[in-house]
Amino acid sequence: DGQLAGGARNLAACAELDYEEKIRRHQASLTLAQRLGLVAEPAKPLNAAQWEAVKKASDARQDSGVPCSICLDDFRERPQVILSCSHVFHAECMRSFERFAGERRCPLCRRSPAKR
């Protein structure tokens, strides 16, 4: 029992370190204009609790049970991406949409999402 609790604590600590690393990478990726506040910066990465809420919202809508909104194909075994707005797409479709649109936004709600 004590070993399991210690393992859970280590896992939580590891997740926090991963999140801190994501924040460091986010800050390092900002342009000078974004750092100076001249241009809006992209959304910060979500922490584990925020992602859990996103996943629950997506599960409640049963997004994986409907076709991809971009290509209209079923999800099946193809890799998927869930956005911070909780919408789900094929990873390949989302990359294509971002290239076509020239920006990182959700094709459905147009929010500027952070991906997981």
46 plus 103 within the same structural domain = yes
30 plus 46 within the same structural domain = no
The band of 3, judged by pLDDT with boundaries at 50, 70 and 90, is: very low
The answer on pLDDT for 15 being more than 70 is: no
Q: What is the model's pLDDT at position 5?
A: 43
55 plus 36 within the same structural domain = no
DSSP labels, 19-75:
HHHHHHHHHHH--HHHHTTSSPPPPPPP-HHHHHHHHHHHHHHTGGGS--TTT----
Residue 36 buriedness (CB in 10 A; 0-12 / 13-18 / 19+): exposed
84 plus 105 within the same structural domain = yes
61 plus 109 within the same structural domain = yes
Per-residue tokens: 48? 């584990």
Domain containing residue 92: CATH number: 3.30.40.10
15 plus 72 within the same structural domain = no
The band of 96, judged by pLDDT with boundaries at 50, 70 and 90, is: very high
49 plus 81 within the same structural domain = yes
Range of the domain at 110: 42-116
Per-residue tokens: 75? 């999800």
26 plus 78 within the same structural domain = no
Q: What is the model's pLDDT at position 115?
A: 55
pLDDT in tens, 16-61: 557 777 778 878 888 888 888 888 877 777 777 777 777 787 777 7
Number of independent structural domains in the chain: 2
pTM of the model: 0.53
Q: What is the model's pLDDT at position 8?
A: 43
Residue 29 φ then ψ, to 5°: -85, -10
